[in-house]
Amino acid sequence: MEEQVLATPAETTLAPQGPNAAVSVRSPATACHEVVHLFRLLYNHNPFYIISAYLVLTGLWQACSHDLKVIEAGGIALGLAIYTLLLALTAWLIIRLGRVWEDARSILLIVVLMFLAISVSLDPVLNTRGQRGLWFALAGFSFAAIVSEALLHGLALRLPALFRVPYYLVHALFYFYPLAISPLSSHPTWPSLYWSLCGFPALAGAVFLTLAPAIRRGARAVRENGSPWSWPIYPWALFGMLGLCVCMRAYYLCESFLPVGGKASIFGWYFLVPFFAAVTILLIEAAAVSQSSLARRIALAMPVVLLALSVCGHRVDVVYLKFLNRFQETMPGSPLYVTLLIAIGLYAYAWSRSIRGAGDALTLALALLAFITPSSRGLDDWEYYRAWPLVVVGLIQYGTGLSERRSWRVLLGAAVMMLPVALLDESSNDLRLREVFLAHATILIVLFVGAKFHDSLATAMRFLGAPLLAGVAIMATAAPQRLFAQLPAGLVFAYPLLPIGVALWYGHRYGGPMYYAAATLGTLYGPSAYCWAGYRELRAQFDGIDKIAWGIAFFLLAAVLSLAKAGYGARLRGARAAG
């Protein structure tokens, strides 16, 4: 009797017939399991605080007119302050009652974001000259400081002065920098207003650099900080949020103090380059202190991010292009060019801090300096501009290869130093001289690498040198005027002796039989070429000359065979052995 297997309800699926036979419906148990998994995910990570903050921010902003007045701005700031207090109280309760540190971390970061929102909402007030703006700035900064200190003491969190001072300096910048530039806002055409808005990220970067002493102390600075968060999550997650707030504050400063309307704005992504350059310096310090490979890779990648910021987001609107042109006229060049100079400085600093890989990154950045001009604004504006960066890069790679005994670096350095000659303008009158120089320089570096090193690349170079020398000797014999049109006739005639002599010497010292064969080929080519030319003249004047030549060739072959049969070869070898 066949055994019957009954499917459980959890395994039951609907299998319709016909063309939809492959379609199956998930069982209720599977759907329930997915719902439970989603619930656990939301329960563990609890994204609802972020959703709540977003809804409160947008709701308060829509509750007031878009054309903000002083009382409306104060109303938004008051609403944000009340919501911030609610968040801070919630963080204190969930830590005191349940030690729910993961939710508390999200709340604390949102509180920092609320401080930024309060400062932005006060821009219409801070933009008014007089005592009112000063009092609002003091009130906003005091509120941020009091709530922060209350949270630190209430949650028993330890934040040393090395971190606390930069933290409050950033918040002071959020409130008092707008107050400082408010007198300029009444003159929207003044260049000083434009430069003040562009300079905010640079000043914020200078404030962030005050974190360097804390970075040098490493994890010791926040040992036993009063939370389960270890270094570097605490306190660097806090300053990561502050960095995001700096970027947002830079954008909203342009919107508040130079409103244009629509999507037009002075703000460009290149505004943020100085701030992220300061962040890169901090990452270099962190990589040097901690010897972390992750910090090292991030630090070396950051200048690439800066270059991306300098070319992204360019727009075609009058206000934006007006300041971009002014920037390019006042600074050493375009944002891309200035950022490249900053990247070179950052890589040089990383190299001085013994960050592995910084030297190669520095040489690559220097090489880009040969193709990015002061007027370049994007990736499509590159052109060969100057030669000295390539020469410097080549010398660095060449010297590094010699000191580290790496043949590929020596070869790379020599190739980069020859690149400016290879990139000469096609309309130049020195193209023939360029070809001669590149050919001889290539042979010299090939022979040098083959003689200096003993790795697999050097072996390949020794193998390549022989046919190169033979080719130069043959070409100099076959077409001397094409290569050396400006030399005296005597030197042109004697030149093939030079590669032949070099091949003999190099074969004796390093190369072996290949170079002897190259020298022989170079030596025989000239007489062979002249004999062939004479033979062609004889063919044109005498019939039957081909048969005579073949007859002589076969005679020589027959004579060689006869001598072999007579034992001439064995006698010659015996005489040599006896001698």
CA distance 334 to 382: 12
Q: What is the DSSP letter of 20?
A: G
DSSP assignment of 62-112 equals HHS-SS--HHHHHHHHHHHHHHHHHHHHHHHHHHHHH--HHHHHHHHHHHH
The percent of residues above 70 in pLDDT, for the chain, comes to 75
Residue appearing with tokens 């606390």: 164
Which of 233-242, 254-263, 429-438 has maximum average pLDDT? 233-242
Lowest mean pLDDT among 159-168, 217-226, 275-284, 569-578: 569-578
Helix (H, G, I), strand (E, B) or coil at 22: coil
Torsion over CA of 199, 200, 205 and 208, rounded to 10 degrees?
A: 150
For helices 191-208 and 233-257, what crossing angle results, to 10°?
180
State the first-to-last Cα distance of the chain, in angstroms, to the nearest integer. 103
Averaged over 429-434, what is the pLDDT?
63
Rounded to two decimals, the pTM is: 0.77
**Residue of 17 and 558 predicted with greater confidence:** 558
Contact 495, 484 (CB under 8 A): yes
Confidence of residue 427 (pLDDT cuts 50, 70, 90): low
Averaged over 110-134, what is the pLDDT?
83
DSSP assignment of 510-544 equals II-HHHHHHHHHHHHHHHHHHHHHHHHHHHHH-TT
- 52's CB contacts (< 8 A; 6+ apart) are none
CA distances from 3 to 11, 12, 182, 245 (A): 18, 19, 88, 69
pLDDT (tens digit per residue) in 286-320: 999 888 899 999 999 999 999 999 998 888 888 88
Nearest to 58 by CA among 82, 72, 76: 76
- 383's CB contacts (< 8 A; 6+ apart) are 371, 373
Contact 192, 141 (CB under 8 A): no
CA distance 27 to 34: 11
Contact 465, 447 (CB under 8 A): yes
pLDDT value for 579: 57
b or e along 191-213 (b: 16 or more beta carbons within 10 Å of the residue's beta carbon)? eebbebbbbbbbbbbebbbbbbe
pLDDT value for 28: 64
Contact 478, 492 (CB under 8 A): no
pLDDT value for 347: 96
Contact 167, 229 (CB under 8 A): no
pLDDT (tens digit per residue) in 172-217: 999 999 988 888 877 777 888 899 999 999 999 999 999 999 998 8
pLDDT (tens digit per residue) in 336-364: 999 999 999 999 999 999 999 999 999 99
Contact 307, 340 (CB under 8 A): yes
At residue 41, does pLDDT exceed 50? no
pLDDT value for 469: 87
Confidence of residue 30 (pLDDT cuts 50, 70, 90): low
Q: Which backbone phi and psi does 2 adopt, to 5 degrees?
A: -70, 140
At residue 277, does pLDDT exceed 60? yes
DSSP assignment of 348-377 equals HHHHHTT-TTHHHHHHHHHHHTTT--TT--
Q: What is the DSSP letter of 7?
A: P
Give me the chain's average pLDDT, please: 80
Helix (H, G, I), strand (E, B) or coil at 263: coil
Contact 117, 80 (CB under 8 A): yes
What counts of helices (H) and strands (E) characterise the chain? 25, 0
Cβ count within 10 A of residue 29: 12
